[in-house]
Amino acid sequence: MPWNVIFFYALAAISILAAAGIVVARNPVHSAIFLVLTLFNTAGIFVLLGAEFLAAVQVIVYAGAALVLMLFLLMLVDPQDLPERDSGLPVQRIVGPLLGVILFLEVAAAVANRGMVGASGNADPATIALVGGSTQAVGNLLFTQYLLPFEIISLVLLIGVVGAIVLALPERLGERLGTISLGHPRGTDMALPEGPDAAAPITAADRQAARELDMTREVILVKDPDLYTTVRPKTPGQRNSTRTTRK
């Protein structure tokens, strides 16, 4: 068996395993790493088939630019805000795998009917040389015969960028942040009582109570106030103290 055939089968097998790892991996960063492996092996297959330009585009555009953009989006989006794996309507759980099976059968039928052995196509090296090489031939096909799919892909990429921006935008400050007193943590017996009625006059007892509550305490903004509830017990002759440590 020639070496190019051995390399082809090896790269194809690694690409299939890496593509399966993209779907199986639970961590999005691990899925991105499997995607890098898939793209590089696909570029190797392009080199074996004599399409060096496509291999370079595969590495530069996809593995170098698009994948870096995906990693930035993964870092911007909080994993806790992502939907659960099993979330969604019951119809989606049925239609999704069904569409996947249909797509797999369609690709399998196309490969089986064409016959991969000996199918070199009508673009022989002499024909490619007449149009200026494989790079110019790809450019001519993209902007003539495949112009509409090329423009549709650009719109799909634009929609993906807009969707990523919407996911990365912070929500309203009032929905994501809460105030917490370091002197009187939330959820303890030292929590601040409700203030007096606005219509009622402030008495001397209210002023004394305000002094006892230490109005100079520090107030901070936190994303989840319930996590900051660690309290040190009060010892005789010592005021209450708190620590802002997370559970």
Question: Both 20 and 83 in a single domain?
Answer: yes
Question: Both 151 and 229 in a single domain?
Answer: no
Q: How confident is the model at residue 228 (pLDDT cuts 50, 70, 90)?
A: low
pLDDT in tens, 210-224: 566 555 555 555 555
Question: Both 162 and 178 in a single domain?
Answer: no
pLDDT for residue 117: 55
Question: Both 45 and 62 in a single domain?
Answer: yes
CA–CA dist 154, 227 (Å, integer): 44
Question: Both 136 and 154 in a single domain?
Answer: yes
CA–CA dist 117, 195 (Å, integer): 83
Question: Both 164 and 180 in a single domain?
Answer: no
In a domain, 13, yes or no: yes
pLDDT in tens, 107-147: 888 877 765 555 555 666 676 666 556 677 778 888 888 88
In a domain, 11, yes or no: yes
Question: Both 180 and 145 in a single domain?
Answer: no
pLDDT in tens, 169-226: 655 444 444 554 555 444 544 444 444 454 455 566 666 665 665 555 555 555 555 5
pLDDT in tens, 18-30: 999 988 888 877 8
In a domain, 137, yes or no: yes
104 contacts 98 by C-beta, under 8 angstroms:
no
Question: Both 216 and 158 in a single domain?
Answer: no
Question: Both 28 and 65 in a single domain?
Answer: yes
- Structure token digits, residue 70: 């995906």
In a domain, 133, yes or no: yes
Query: Could you count the other beta carbons within 10 Å of the beta carbon of residue 43?
Result: 21
Rounded (10°) CA dihedral 22, 24, 30, 34? -30
Reported pTM: 0.49
In a domain, 63, yes or no: yes
In a domain, 105, yes or no: no
Question: Both 186 and 163 in a single domain?
Answer: no
Question: Both 152 and 184 in a single domain?
Answer: no
70 contacts 112 by C-beta, under 8 angstroms:
no
**Residue 81: which domain range?**
1-94
In a domain, 119, yes or no: no
Question: Both 85 and 8 in a single domain?
Answer: yes
* Tally of structural domains, the chain: 3
pLDDT for residue 84: 62
Q: Which residues pair with 241 in a beta bridge?
A: 232
In a domain, 181, yes or no: yes
